[in-house]
Structures are given as structure tokens and as C-alpha cells.
Structure 1
Amino acid sequence: MKNIATYDLMESARNTNQWLGASALALASYPFTGVMPNPFFRLLAAWGEVTERSFARMVAKPDWNILTIVGDDGRDHVVSVEPVIARAFGDLIHFRVHGRPEKQRKVLLVAPMSGHYATLLRSTIASLLPDCEVYTTDWHNARDIPVSEGKFDIEDYTLYLVDFMKFLGPEINVIAVCQPAPLTLAATAYLAEEAPEAQPRTLTLIGGPIDPDAAATDVTDFGSRITMGQLEQLAIQRVGFKYAGVGRLVYPGLLQLASFMSMNADRHSEAFREQILRVAKGEAGDHDKHNRFYDEYLAVMDMTAEFYLSTVERIFKNLEIAQNKFVVAGKQVDIGKITNVAVKTVEGSADDISAPGQCVAALDLLTGLPDSKKASHLEQGAGHYGIFAGKSWRDNIRPLVLNFIDSNSGQDAKVSHLKTV
């Protein structure tokens, strides 16, 4: 499958479905359809609208759409997104809140590179902005990166994090969500040996596969069943002629999306059937609950082949982080060298992607860290998404994380419950 024709065929299928949806919407919206009071045309137009929107979102990067926050002074403050470090495969960006004093808490939110854009953490960032200066990693779509920029694997990813942490300084508090948790732990350990003065103040790991073998899920079962040769043959393609990264080997976002959707196919099918009926009845809105969720969920990005394959092989199969054998740039990283960075793990009891036990395993690896600087939290009833962006995050986990940051900073900063707009 490692050829341009397969990638372009998949893109052509997506484009065709988008066109079919647009055509159905246009045809069923002609005035003559009102001559006959037949619900068929309403359903056809509704199907077309939902289909066109869904397939169009698959190749569009969502906007951050964080416009303002309400400050302690009761005024709306404009938020702008400003890159502070620009790199080929990802940027470090700052959500600057204009017209308010700088917040004491500085947070680096490490976004996953697992098929979705960093905007998946929009609500997480919005919830932190009233209380923190927020920075995040904004990873780029591999299909838009020319082959001349070279490779990008998990070691390169780790070194990006090292550079970002060095830039932000020792007052930063790092929060890693899901996929980057093991690599963020490795980056902190790397700093502990190479530049201890640049280590973050705290490190919070949320729902990450530190030790995938600690609790089985569909993700870990898949990783153990398939060989690396099979995975490379089945999943890796070359970017087609439409994009700047033409010829680059990638794990396409559309394949990742198909995998995501298949895990809960019945639930997704029911959601789209209900949305078509709501559109036909005139009850749907452009930014209703369905569209807000799926505009983000369907927007996928390609990962470089070397990043995807090295993640599966080294994190899931060889357990290099779990066994403290991870190597970066020819140097073995020793997680036990972390001695003064407070570390907290957060898990959801109903997490079916990184099951309970996988993330808290990080604390056992921190042999040089006193127990007083270790903490863990298991959120009862919370699934994977809920522990960083859902109700569980808003009501329980966010205050716990901010209190953990404060208790290890020597500062008594009040946790705000102000909302963003």
C-alpha cells in the first residue's frame, strides 16, 4: 500500500462523498420540490447537508475559536494565539490574554499527536485560561510537510518537548494528555540529566500509556496481535500529489478515523441518523451539540510513518518507557533521575483507551522521587475524553490539578471558575 495511488484513491473517495452530499442538498433544495408535499426531498436535503459537512471536515484544520475570557475585573479580555517557537513538525504557541496581568501559573499543555489536531484540547485550554498562562504544542499535519524537512519519530518528538520546556523555564507546569504522557515523562528525565535547571516545576500525566501491559484494551490487544511488517504494509501510504508533503510516508488520518469510528460504530451511526432527522425537521443548528463534536472529531491529520511505527514498536511492543529503557539520540534516559519534579497521574475508571493502571505506573518508575512529590487520582465513571475535556475534568479533575500545581509552587493562587466565551 506504500504508493501515492492508494493515498489519492482514498482522498478521491472522500472528495466524491463530499460532492454527492453537496449535489443531493442542491437538488433537493430546488423550489419545484415544494410542489409535492413529500418528505423524501426533505430527507434527501438533510442527508446531503450532513454528508457534505462531515466529509469536508476531514481535511480542514479546526479553528481554536477561543475569543475572549472574563477576567477578575469582570471585563472581557481578548485572547490571541501567538507562536513562540516555530518548527517544521510542530509549534509552541501561547494563548495571550490581552489587558490582564500575567498569571502566576504557567502551564504547558502537551497535545497528543494521535490523528487529531491539538484543537481537540480547545475546551481544556479554555477552562485553564482564567487561571493560567497557557502554552500548548500545535503539531502539524504530515501531509503538509515537504519530504526535504526529513524524518520525525518519537525521539524527535521528545527532543521537541525538551526544547519547549527549556524555553519556558523551570516555572512551567506541564500537563500531558494521553499519547504524549510517556514521551513527556522521558523528556523530563532527559532534562534531569542534561539540563536539571530547566526541569518543570510539576508534571501531570492524564490517561497516558506509560505501561500498556498494566491493563489490556482494544488498543493494546491490536498492538500485540499485529507484527510490525504487517502494520507497515497495511497502514503506511505515501502522500498524494495534492499536498506539499507529496511522497512522504505517513499513517493517514483517514485510516485512523476509520479505526476510531469502528470502535463505536453503532453509536456513531445512530448519532448521524438522528442528526439527519433533526436537520429534516428544522431542529438542527450550525453549532449544535452534534456539529460541535463531529466538526472536531472528524478533522484528522496524518502522522509521519516513522512516528507512528516507532510509537507502536517502542512504546507498546517493546515497552521501553515501562521498563525504563528508552533511548533518545543515542543516550538511555533514566526516569529514576527525576528527583524534584512533582508528578501527578490522572486516570478514568471507564477509560477504554488507556485503562486504569497504565498511567499510574509512572509513579513506580520514579524511584528517585520522594513519595511526598507523587500523587494520583482515579476519576470514577469517567471515560478517556471525560478526564481532560468533559464534565469530570471541569467539575473534579481541573481543580485537583490546579491545587496540585499550587501546593508544589509555594504560592497560594485562587482557583477561578470563570468561563470563556
Structure 2
Amino acid sequence: MKYMMTYDLMETMRNTNQWLGATARAYASYPIMSWGANPAIDWLKAWGEVTERTFERMIVKPDWNIPPVAGPKGKDYPVVIETVVEKPFGDLIHFTMPGRKPSKRRVMLVAPMSGHYATLLRKTVISLLPDADVYVTDWHNARDIPVSAGKFDIEDYTLYLMDFMRAVGPDIHVIAVCQPVPLALAATAYLAELDPKAQPRSLTLIGGPVDPEANHTEVTDFGRSVTMGQLEETMIQRVGFKYAGVGRMVYPGLLQLASFISMNAEMHTNAFRDEIIRVAKGEASEHDRHNDFYDEYLAVMDMTAEFYLSTVERIFKGREIAQNDFVVAGHKVDFSKVTTVAVKIVEGEDDDISAPGQCLAALDLLTGLPDDKKAAHLEPGAGHYGIFAGKSWRNNIRPLVLDFIDANADAPSDAQSNVVNLK
């Protein structure tokens, strides 16, 4: 029963705040309340509406809501989501457009498992769909996965990526965003040894911690300053009886959200105050900037305890990837085995989560890869979010990534394949 009560207490607090918001909104909506002008009732209703939606979002997985994609001659193609590979801890999904000619560019987006759902990449998917066939790793909320499904750590994550790459075929171009960058690199290297024909054509790594010590941030400093015992004692809880994963040890999404908000508490406080004012004045809308952002930001998911702890211990503290000392299923992965997969690094100059240099370290590990297969881009003035979903992504990075994909669309020649076999 360790920490099951604290898990349920957090959910109780969330549920209570949602109820208070709903009650205030309902009370202020009674017809009798409109018999006379009363600004206090308007403010109460606005507070209730914003509060209810805020706390309701926290346990709901956002919809993808992908709009139709424009085709030639003004024809729109609706986007349909199908599951290609289904696994206990995550699926590989495919965004299909019935009636549209398949694109030659086939992209697999590797979504982070760092507190938010894969829908965090919605804008990235929308930007790629007109020009590519897109697959995404859709990770599941650990609270909904029965204990009988077993564990899930960074080695299991790596093996999942290998299975996903095999499922979509070797003509795929993998784009990994943030947290999974080192694991996507490891999965590719492991495939280079075990199943070279299943390797992707190219690998684009965007803002991930291949070597956290290359350039310190608050995230890396935190990882270095706490012990694993402290993390396990303060961050890990057991899922309560409300969910299918009852008894599973997790790093709760609500606890992660509290950490996210505390890093910019004043900004978030002002944002919610301003939204209440807009609602009271009748200036807010269902899909205004505030709601579009916070519908996604507040939707958090639990991570398995073993995934969170192994990430901190092995990626940040032990630097196993950076030191080419990463072991998966008892096998030491050798990054020098990657000899045919083109690799591009994308970093943001103002990224305060995965600072410039952390992701670039990947190229130094790829000693078997020719220089003409390596590329790197540092986006001026871009923060972490901007390098995969913001203006910098849309205007600058996305065109560069598509050009890189096109330049490496052909299968490796027989000569290159022979080099792989010799090594």
C-alpha cells in the first residue's frame, strides 16, 4: 500500500477543485441570478468555468483533432488514425488519408514519454502531413496498464522502437523529439547489429539529452544533485483503486504537472487570472490561445517508476549513452555499427531543457558513419518547444528536415551494405 493513499489524495484534491468550479459555474447560471446586474456573480461564473475546465483537463487524454489536408484542385482529404502495432505500453499509429496518393516520404515521429501524451506533437504532425506519410509512437498512461503487463524501463522503450521500425519498413525516416533522442539512437544502433536491413533511411534527432553533461541546464543539475533514493522516496507513488493499473508504481502525472508549473509559477498564475477576466468580459472563446495551450499542457500521464528512475540513473547520472556503454537486454549497444543511416541533429540556441551540445554529442558517437551522412543545425533564438512545433519549426527547421529526408531517400548501395557486413 506504499504511497497509494498519497496518490488518491492528489486525485481527490483534483476532483474536488473540478467539482468546486462546476458548482460555482452552475450556481451563477441559475436564472434568478440574472434578475439584476451583479458583477460578483459574473466573476463567480467566470472563475468556476475556468477552474472546472482546468482540473478536468488533467485526467483526459486530448484528441488529435487533425484537420483535413488540402490536396490538388482544392480537394480536402480527411485524416483517419489507424493502429499499426498495438502493445501494452504504447502503440504505433498511422495517419492515413483515404483517396490520397501515398507520399514517397514516410516519417515515424518518436514522441517523448515525459509527462505529456503524444498529442503534444499535434502541430508537428499537422505540418508534416501535406508532404509525408506520418506514423507516431502513441504511449499509454501507466495508470491504465494492469500490473500483470509487467515492467517498462528505458531498455523496453528501446526494444519497442526497434519493433516499430521493423513494422513500418526500412524506407522510413525517423524523427525523435526530446526525451527519446538517445533511445532512438540506441535502437538504430542495435538494429545495425541485429537486423541491418530494418534500419531507417535517416534519423533526425531534435533537442535530446544524448550527453547531459555537454551543457548544463536546471534539468541536468537536478539529476546530478539528488540521489536515486531521494527520487524514489519523493517522486514514486502507487496507483490507487480508481484505475486499471491499481498497485503499479509510477511517477504520477499530477506530481509532474506540479513540478512543471512551479518552474514558471508567476507566468501560469497570470495566465489563469487573465483568462478569468476575459471570460467575465465575454471575450474568451472555446479555442482561444489560452485554451489551445492549456488543454494540452495540463493533460498529463503517469510514467512507470522504472522508466523514470532508469532514465535519471542511466541517461543523466551514468551517461551510458554518451559513453557508448548502454546495455539492452544483456547486449552492449555499439554506436559505431551505424554506417548507412544518415543522421541530422537539430538544436535550439535558447533551449533551456536540452541545451545546445547535448544532442550534438550523438555525432561523436557515430564513428563508423561517413561525414557526408552527418548534419547539424542550430536554430537561432529558438527555445525547446519552438524547434519541433513553433514558428522556428514551421519556417526554418521543417524545410531543412524534409530536404534532408529527400537527400537520403535511396536505399544503401550494395557497397555500403558490404561495409556494414565487414564491420
Bin the TM-score by the shorter chain. Answer: over 0.9
Query: Aligned residue for 2:280?
Result: 280
Contact 1:109/1:134 (CA < 8 Å) preserved in 2? yes
Query: Aligned residue for 1:362?
Result: 362
Q: What's the CA shift for 1:410? A: 4.5
Question: How do 1:249-328 and structure 2 match up within 5 A?
Answer: 249-328=249-328
SS in 2 for 1:161: helix
Taking the aligned partners of 2:138 and 2:370, their CA distance within structure 1 comes to: 33
Query: Aligned residue for 2:111?
Result: 111
Letter matched to residue 259 of structure 1: S
Contact 1:2/1:236 (CA < 8 Å) preserved in 2? no
C-alpha distance after superposition, 1:250-301 (max 9, x if no partner): 0000011111111111111111111000000000001111101100100000
C-alpha distance after superposition, 1:88-109 (max 9, x if no partner): 0000010001111110000000
Taking the aligned partners of 1:7 and 1:267, their CA distance within structure 2 comes to: 27
Query: Aligned residue for 1:97?
Result: 97
Contact 2:251/2:303 (CA < 8 Å) preserved in 1? yes
Taking the aligned partners of 1:72 and 1:134, their CA distance within structure 2 comes to: 19
Question: How do 1:182-197 and structure 2 match up within 5 A?
Answer: 182-197=182-197
Query: Aligned residue for 1:233?
Result: 233
Contact 2:201/2:410 (CA < 8 Å) preserved in 1? no
Query: Aligned residue for 1:419?
Result: none
Taking the aligned partners of 2:178 and 2:2, their CA distance within structure 1 comes to: 28
C-alpha distance after superposition, 1:350-403 (max 9, x if no partner): 111111111111111111111101001111111111100011111110000000
Q: What's the CA shift for 1:35? A: 3.6
Taking the aligned partners of 2:155 and 2:410, their CA distance within structure 1 comes to: 33
Letter matched to residue 88 of structure 1: P
Structure 2 gap segments, 5+ residues each: 412-423
Question: How do 1:152-163 and structure 2 match up within 5 A?
Answer: 152-163=152-163
Q: What's the CA shift for 1:166? A: 1.0
Letter matched to residue 181 of structure 2: A
Taking the aligned partners of 1:363 and 1:71, their CA distance within structure 2 comes to: 38
Taking the aligned partners of 1:70 and 1:37, their CA distance within structure 2 comes to: 48
Question: How do 1:34-45 and structure 2 match up within 5 A?
Answer: 34-45=34-45
Calculate the TM-score normalised by the size of structure 2. Answer: 0.96
Calculate the TM-score normalised by the size of structure 1. Answer: 0.96
Question: How do 1:19-418 and structure 2 match up within 5 A?
Answer: 19-410=19-410
Contact 1:143/1:245 (CA < 8 Å) preserved in 2? yes
Taking the aligned partners of 2:297 and 2:40, their CA distance within structure 1 comes to: 29
Q: What's the CA shift for 1:162? A: 0.4
Letter matched to residue 42 of structure 1: D
Letter matched to residue 28 of structure 2: A
Query: Aligned residue for 1:414?
Result: none
SS in 2 for 1:127: helix
Query: Aligned residue for 2:16?
Result: 16
Taking the aligned partners of 2:131 and 2:73, their CA distance within structure 1 comes to: 13
Letter matched to residue 210 of structure 2: I
Taking the aligned partners of 2:100 and 2:168, their CA distance within structure 1 comes to: 20
Q: What's the CA shift for 1:74? A: 2.4
SS in 1 for 2:275: helix
Q: How many residues align?
A: 411
C-alpha distance after superposition, 1:330-358 (max 9, x if no partner): 00001111011000010111111111111
Taking the aligned partners of 2:74 and 2:324, their CA distance within structure 1 comes to: 48
Taking the aligned partners of 2:336 and 2:72, their CA distance within structure 1 comes to: 41
Taking the aligned partners of 1:2 and 1:217, their CA distance within structure 2 comes to: 32
Structure 1 gap segments, 5+ residues each: 412-421
Q: Among the aligned pairs, what percent are the same residue?
A: 73
SS in 2 for 1:81: strand
SS in 1 for 2:378: strand
Taking the aligned partners of 1:72 and 1:366, their CA distance within structure 2 comes to: 41
Contact 2:21/2:50 (CA < 8 Å) preserved in 1? yes
Taking the aligned partners of 1:401 and 1:277, their CA distance within structure 2 comes to: 41
RMSD, aligned α-carbons: 1.1
Q: What's the CA shift for 1:25? A: 0.8
